[in-house]
Structure 1
Amino acid sequence: MNSLEQVSGHEAELELQTPPWERWAVVVNPTKFDDMDALRTSFAVLCADHGWSEPRWYTTTAEDPGEGQTRQALTDGAGLVCPLGGDGTVRSVAAAMVDSGVPMGLLPGGTGNLLARNLKLPVDDLEAALIVALTGRDSAIDVGEVTWDQDAPAVFLVMAGMGLDAEMMAGVDEGLKRKVGWLAYALSGARALFRLGFAVRVRADAKRAVSQHARAVVVGNCGELAGGLQLMPDASVDDGRLDTVLASPNSIAGWLALGLNFVSARRRGHPSLVHLVSERVEVATREPIEAQLDGDAVGVRRRMTCTVRALALTVRLPAEA
């Protein structure tokens, strides 16, 4: 082999070894930040301090909350894409990254940061989250897919639901949410507790359908809510299954008992709580009911069909010690 061939081969080897963060992107929701220039400057300083290249920025819009921008970033050659916004931004970015093999790095930019909480990633420290995104290991997780009524399928990473949880999301005061965070959801949920439930029929896989009166039906890809509340403690983000909970307390006392069961270290179940595990679940209600997707209200629906796409999304987790 002559010297020219050796140089060319060495350059090709270096190109193959170029780490993904040399070509990485941030998909940002600008409504979550008061000063975008200051945000970009802080990223530039962090990258310079650690010897990293700066990202290419893609800004979401009301018309496109992140999916189109992510597809463009992948077309532009990004080897890592980081959503920076709320749970809706994370979901939109993930929708474009399913089955791509390109890792997603989670950066905290919203109130909930629900997927990051379930993956035990930093949710209150942007620098720590950025370090994980740029230096961590790749891991595959499941993605849920939901079809509402006759709508096109949509992905979810945490939970899809109908009833109380969706009423809580739909009724939250956005101004109060910006001021007090998740307390605004608690206040909205307290108001929703006094509403009537609904008749629902749930079928998990090919098992016999469950028909009952319920206050909430939640299908989860993972089980932890804000504040560390474990709605589905046995749910796992990489087990190839979905966990479904039907809650049907008929009084405030029933809700209190159910709440104590959720926070108890030795959960024994509760008569007003049904838990199902499956790869597919079909939910049908007698009348239109408020629905939510990863914490975002999507309006009233009558049917919800959820399936799991096993290990379809690659995410960045902390590097193993």
Structure 2
Amino acid sequence: MRAGIVYNPVKIDRQELAVAVESAQPLEWSEPVWFETAADDAGRAAVRSALEADIDLLLVAGGDGTVRVAADEITSTAVPLAIIPAGTGNLLARNLGIDVASLKNAVRTAFEGEEREIDLGELEIEAPDGTRTKHAFAVMVGFGLDAEMIDKTDEQLKKKVGWLAYVDAAGRVISGLDKVRVQVRMDAGRTLRSTVNTMLVGNCGTVTNGIVVLPDAVIDDGMLDIALIRPRGARGWLQVAGYVARNNLLVTKLLRRRGHLKRQRTGAALGYGQAKETHARLDEPRAVQVDGDVVGEAVALRAGIRQDALRVRVPHRGAQGGVPV
């Protein structure tokens, strides 16, 4: 047995990671093979090289972009993915209950955790000039507040204060966030026409700092969860804030995990839906983010789901750090 390790040298120190791997890897395993990501590549070339090395487990140490690329590449193989969170958001790791604060615990989960099959989303966007591009996503895509916040985040500030830099960016963009007319169709249902400032499509529902924004999202249910955020003035934003606050109360989270709560209801300021595939067409182009990376502007998008496409290592259920969603 042998592990392949893909790491982003900007995000994590190789020597520190090597010490943790040596401590956690079973004695009977061969020496791991190491692959460093390049500055002009989120990790696709490194992941491909690792998979060509006939490995039995792939550890990926980096941010959300590197994890997303690895997830996309590994789905065509039988190799499980182990995430070593080393970014700012660490979105997929959070949604799987992986310890984002302890390198030692994350590496231990890589070698000793249980395997779980999860879904992987597929996004196709149409740019204003008509060109189309495809992107895999493990967590969430969307346009509006999330994409503008990511686009306007100060990278130097993010290095200093981490996720708090997103709060700074959100405060700067929210007041000037423009609305856009959008047509949305979920599966074979009727087309909904609405004016929104944000649309989210998620495979799972937890974002930076553990905040739940899509409360009904489950990472292995074969469904996408969709939110249309459409507040009217300050009162509308207060309604949105109320939805988010209630969904993040500890008692709410516990009741939802135990199946005691019904699905999130749609309101005037915030609409929810579920589908295996959703289409949206915008009257004006908007920046689109994919798992925390802005990938360009779009006038239309299509999102679908690949059920049980990815095998990941997660903490044993009931282990400290939370139950994976």
State yes or no: 1:24 paired with 2:21.
no
Q: Which whole-Å deviations, capped at 9, do the CAs of 1:240-272 have from their partners, x for residues lacking one? A: 010110001122332232112112146665311
TM-score, scaled to structure 2: 0.86
SS in 2 for 1:153: strand
Q: Which whole-Å deviations, capped at 9, do the CAs of 1:255-296 have from their partners, x for residues lacking one? A: 232112112146665311111100000111111101100011
Residue 222 of structure 2 corresponds to: 240
C-alpha RMSD of the superposition? 1.9
> Which residue identity lines up with residue 287 of structure 2 in the other structure?
E
* Distance (whole Å) between structure 1 residues aligned to residue 233 and residue 317 of structure 2: 47
Return the match for 1:127 from 99, 104, 126: 104
* Distance (whole Å) between structure 2 residues aligned to residue 188 and residue 77 of structure 1: 43
* Distance (whole Å) between structure 2 residues aligned to residue 218 and residue 186 of structure 1: 18
SS in 1 for 2:305: strand
For the Cα contact (< 8 Å) 1:143–1:221, is it kept in 2?
yes
Q: Which runs of 5+ in 1 are unaligned?
A: 1-21
For the Cα contact (< 8 Å) 2:265–2:272, is it kept in 1?
no
Residue 55 of structure 1 corresponds to: 32
Residue 18 of structure 1 corresponds to: none
For the Cα contact (< 8 Å) 2:24–2:111, is it kept in 1?
no
> Which residue identity lines up with residue 277 of structure 1 in the other structure?
Q
Aligned length: 298
Bigger radius of gyration: 1
* Distance (whole Å) between structure 2 residues aligned to residue 148 and residue 58 of structure 1: 31
Q: 1:303 to 1:114 in 2, by over 3 A?
A: same
* Distance (whole Å) between structure 2 residues aligned to residue 172 and residue 111 of structure 1: 12
Q: Flag the structure with higher helix content.
A: 1
Identity %: 38
State yes or no: 1:137 paired with 2:118.
no
State yes or no: 1:230 paired with 2:209.
no
Return the match for 2:198 from 181, 201, 216: 216
> Which residue identity lines up with residue 152 of structure 1 in the other structure?
T
Residue 270 of structure 2 corresponds to: 273
For the Cα contact (< 8 Å) 1:203–1:209, is it kept in 2?
yes
Residue 157 of structure 1 corresponds to: 138
> Which residue identity lines up with residue 94 of structure 1 in the other structure?
A
Q: CA deviation at 1:226?
A: 1.8
* Distance (whole Å) between structure 1 residues aligned to residue 307 and residue 112 of structure 2: 25
Matches within 5 A, 1:80-119: 80-119=57-96
Q: CA deviation at 1:233?
A: 1.1
* Distance (whole Å) between structure 2 residues aligned to residue 188 and residue 250 of structure 1: 21
* Distance (whole Å) between structure 1 residues aligned to residue 171 and residue 235 of structure 2: 13
> Which residue identity lines up with residue 274 of structure 2 in the other structure?
V
SS in 2 for 1:277: strand
